[in-house]
Amino acid sequence: MNKHDFHSPQAGQAILTPGGYWAFIPAPLPPEISYDPGLVRALSRADAALSELSGLGRHIINPHLLIASYVRKEAVLSSRIEGTRAGIADLLINDLEAAESAGSADLWEVRNYVAALEYGIDRLNSLPLSLRLVREIHARLMEGVRGCHATPGEFRHSQNWIGPAGSTLVDAPYVPPPVDEMIDCLAKWELFLQDRETFPELIQCALLHEQFEAIHPFLDGNGRVGRLLITLFLIERGRLSQPLLYLSAYIETHRQEYYDLLQRVRTHGDWNSWLHYFLNGVEETSKQAVRQASELMDLREQLQIELRNKPRAVALIDPLFINPYITASRAAELLNVSLPTARQALRTLEESGVLQEVTGRAWGKTYVATRILNRIENAAG
């Protein structure tokens, strides 16, 4: 790390460590923010879009139909940023199989992300967002996957760095705080996390996310945990009624800008450019999520009308919005009927054009609701 790249005492300082390399110590939050007219407008637009999305989560008839697909999209896209290549369809098929041994390493990483987010949301009922909860989420995220050797659920006990493959502590573009300084930085980060009076929630959320990534407290999984914390923070503060905001879609599309702006905060103290990026992401993603939710619910209503005289087929529509892939055994379980009766219901859906068989087998067939899957995949960007 080149100490001369870091020009802003307000952002933090580069220090020479006993190991002979330079590392960066971020200054405690909050920084001094310049609320220029452009930032005020960006905050107002993001606030309004997020409020509309949160209201949708409160008033939609069955929000779980959306939550299931939205959480999976967030998991796929957040993991994709870290190089994981599993897709939405891969995850849905793997969920249908529901076997502990099923799935590739990439799929396990995505499934762990879903589990970590669902765990975090549930845990907020008994534990406030805190360093303790951050560690618990990390433990679930890293369980049994690549990086599981990297002390899941524990903050790092050694130095890490951020840079391209082959970089070292000496030449990496960014080296987070050494362990002793990291512990102090985390304590101050948690104090700012507990502040409920000083900043608008979206501004505070953006500041917390940037500094969490600057501290980089885990040996692996920092990016995914940092993105999980966005959703959990907004839910805890009452700004999101349901986990319907998947900011990873925006970050994946503007990935290099994301990395560049995080680094520019550290090197130049350019908080405002980062805040504009974050607020624009919240606005764009919230508006897109509202549109996609409307399209999914319109499709649900259309299918229910088309099948209104076929009650068993109608009863499978909502489960297909949670997972568009289905088998006869899964249908029998959902309908609480025999396998022959379940196969008849699937045949009705196939004849109506709702389902398509995808295995080509005579037995052990798997079907997919193509229209539903297409809407979910299009929503994933």
Q: Which domains does the chain have, with CATH numbers?
A: 3-292 (1.10.3290.10), 309-379 (1.10.10.10)
Sign of CA dihedral 43, 59, 234, 249: negative
Residue 356 buriedness (CB in 10 A; 0-12 / 13-18 / 19+): middle
Q: What is the pLDDT of residue 69?
A: 67
Write down the pTM of the prediction: 0.87
Tokens describing residue 311: 């009650």
CA 88, CA 98: separation in Å to the nearest integer? 15
Please provide the distance, in angstroms rounded to a whole number, between the alpha carbons at the two ends of the chain. Answer: 35
Residue 99 has pLDDT above 50, yes or no: no
Residue range 302-316, pLDDT digits in tens: 999 999 999 999 999
Residue range 52-78, pLDDT digits in tens: 998 876 666 566 666 766 677 666 666
CA 5 from chain centre, in angstroms, equals 31
What number of H helices and E strands is found in the chain? Answer: 16, 5
DSSP string over 16-84? E-TTS-EEEEEPPSP------HHHHHHHHHHHHHHHHHHHHHHHSS-THHHHHHHHHHHHHHHHHHTT-
Of the two residues 147 and 238, the one the predictor is more confident about is 238
Residue range 204-233, pLDDT digits in tens: 999 999 999 999 999 999 999 999 999 999
